[in-house]
Chain A
Amino acid sequence: DVKVTQSSRYLVKRTGEKVFLECVQDMDHENMFWYRQDPGLGLRLIYFSYDVKMKEKGDIPEGYSVSREKKERFSLILESASTNQTSMYLCASSFDNQPQHFGDGTRLSIL
């Protein structure tokens, strides 16, 4: 079974901090994704990566950056956290055009 692991289930940070959210998958998937999920808005794609060191902007990349130095790891970075970035963050991975496998999410609160 594919396992996508997000480093934290819950995280509390302060405005202006640099925040790192980590995601690791164990199935050698090329594609990895970061979404945020907010009530009434569904899932929105922040960034995705289809290979090591490759990244593409999704629908809402502003305020975020990503890093993919190794195939199994995809990091989401909030350069200077703001309260409107309080949300549930979900990481996913997939092989080619196959369905995506999700982690359990990180509920991030920015105070």
Chain B
Amino acid sequence: SQQGEEDPQALSIQEGENATMNCSYKTSINNLQWYRQNSGRGLVHLILIRSNEREKHSGRLRVTLDTSKKSSSLLITASRAADTASYFCATAERGYLFFGTGTRLTVIP
């Protein structure tokens, strides 16, 4: 049973623009995590936001969490071609993670 649902499924932007991806989930969570996956590789953890936090920053990444709406967003500022990847949100529940289907981001040089 998947928790997260990312939106949009695919996003294409020019280098230097900002990219925003959204995630909605269904039940109460302990935390929400964002991961990145380059083509043909494993997932890499980007950032974790706890249920009592509203916003978190890490370099060019900004994550928000709205537990009343059961949604989160990931903002990548000043995008680079190297940011091209799939991005997944994952919610922590019952000791393991539920992943969404991901947003495929393409950054055009």
Q: Which residues of A come within 8 Å of B, CB atoms?
A: 4, 31, 33, 35, 40-45, 48, 50, 56, 58-59, 90, 92, 97, 99-105, 107
Are the C-beta atoms of B96 and A33 separated by less than 8 Å? yes
Beyond known contacts A35-B99, A100-B43, A105-B40: 17 more, CB 8 A cutoff = A31-B96, A42-B99, A43-B43, A44-B99, A45-B97, A45-B98, A48-B95, A56-B95, A58-B96, A59-B1, A90-B42, A99-B48, A100-B97, A103-B42, A104-B42, A105-B42, A107-B40
Contacts of B40 in A (CB 8 A): 104-105, 107
In angstroms, Cα B98 to Cα A104, docked, is 19
For residue B88, CB closer than 8 A to chain A, the reply is yes
How many chain B residues have a CB neighbour from A under 8 Å?
Answer: 23
Most chain B beta-carbon neighbours within 10 Å: one of A4, A44, A59, A99: A99
- Whether the pair A43, B99 counts as a contact (CB closer than 8 A) is yes
Which chain B residue shows the least CB distance to A45? B96
